[in-house]
Amino acid sequence: MTRFDCMIGSSAGMRMAASQALHHCAHRSAFGEVLNRQPLMQNVLADLALESEAAMTLTLRMARAMDHRDHEQEDLLVRLVTAVGKYWICKRTPGHAYEAMECIGGSGVMEDSMMPRLYREAPVNAIWEGSGNVQCLDVLRAMSKTPAVVDALLAEVMLAKGGHTALDRYVAKLASDLCDHADLEYRARDLVDRMALALQASLLVRHAPAFISDAFCRSRLEQLGAHNYGALPRGVDTAAIIERATPRIG
């Protein structure tokens, strides 16, 4: 099992957890209305969908890079971003699974559904093939051993330059902080978090509908402080995000 396998497993787990929550809330009614039409639940569901799509998009980008390692830029991305992606996506999966389970309610913890299994297995990929600290140290090792990996990462995220002002500001600050080599090990988690978010935002700006990329950039790059799922800012098209992510059955 490789770090990339862990990324795949966690991204797939997020996708399945989100689909279970979205399907349930498309059919379950409470307080006189279907759950996915209620503003607070829409905020939560859209946030879960954004997290899942961003994780899968980064995983697929790394799959393409691994298929083209004969190209220098792709090889450099693999050296750095498999650790970045493994750290970020696998760390985010347990909380994502829990929130999806909460959307489903009491039946979400019953063993006749898949949610308890998804929740139990969610932490595995974050520990397997190196825990979070190990992945961050691997990022620093790659940066030290092959400094060109930083240029490759910045070149990748800059492909979306001009696509969203929040991303442009975020990347400029990240690039500046990556040039500061003081206390790198102490700051490693913060830097790797931001690398992952910049990559995901860049990919979504380039390849996803504007209502997806705008919601991701505004909620992940502009908002300050730690938030639970369901704290998307005003003006996000939650209905469109939910419509895009809800499974079609029949």
Residue 62 is assigned to a structural domain of this protein = yes
Residue 35 is assigned to a structural domain of this protein = yes
Is residue 224 pLDDT above 70, yes or no? yes
Rounded Cα distance, 35 and 45, in Å:
10
Give the model's confidence band at 186: pLDDT under 50 very low, under 70 low, under 90 confident, else very high: very high
Q: What are the residue ranges of helices labelled H in 158-223?
A: 165-178, 188-207, 210-217
Range in 6-15, 191-200, 224-233 the model is least confident about: 224-233
Rounded Cα distance, 153 and 139, in Å:
12
Q: Which two tokens stand for residue 126?
A: 């974050």
* Across 171-183, average pLDDT: 96
pLDDT of residue 65: 97
pLDDT of residue 177: 97
Is residue 208 pLDDT above 90, yes or no? yes
Rounded Cα distance, 36 and 104, in Å:
11
pLDDT of residue 107: 74
Query: How many domains does the chain divide into?
Result: 1
- Residue (of 34, 23, 48) closest to 108 by Cα position: 23
Is residue 1 pLDDT above 70, yes or no? no
Is residue 249 pLDDT above 90, yes or no? no
DSSP string, 14-72: HHHHHHHHHHHHHH-EETTEEGGGSHHHHHHHHHHHHHHHHHHHHHHHHHHHHHTTTSH
- Residue (of 247, 248, 201, 236) closest to 44 by Cα position: 236
Within 13 Å of residue 214, how many CA atoms lie on the same side as its CB? 11
pLDDT of residue 108: 65
Q: What is the pLDDT of residues 133-174, one digit of tens each?
A: 999 999 999 999 999 999 999 999 999 999 999 999 999 999
pLDDT of residue 42: 98
pLDDT of residue 250: 66
pLDDT of residue 130: 85
What is the extent of the structural domain holding 127? 3-245
DSSP string, 64-107: HHHHTTTSHHHHHHHHHHHHHHHHHHHHHHHHHHHHHHHHH-GG
Give the model's confidence band at 226: pLDDT under 50 very low, under 70 low, under 90 confident, else very high: confident
CATH number for position 176 = 1.20.140.10
* Across 43-50, average pLDDT: 98
Range in 73-82, 175-184, 218-227 the model is least confident about: 218-227
Task: Confirm if 38 and 133 have CB atoms less than 8 A apart.
Answer: no
Q: What is the pLDDT of residues 90-144, one digit of tens each?
A: 999 999 999 999 999 877 677 778 888 999 999 999 988 889 999 999 999 999 9
Residue 250 is assigned to a structural domain of this protein = no
Give the model's confidence band at 4: pLDDT under 50 very low, under 70 low, under 90 confident, else very high: very high
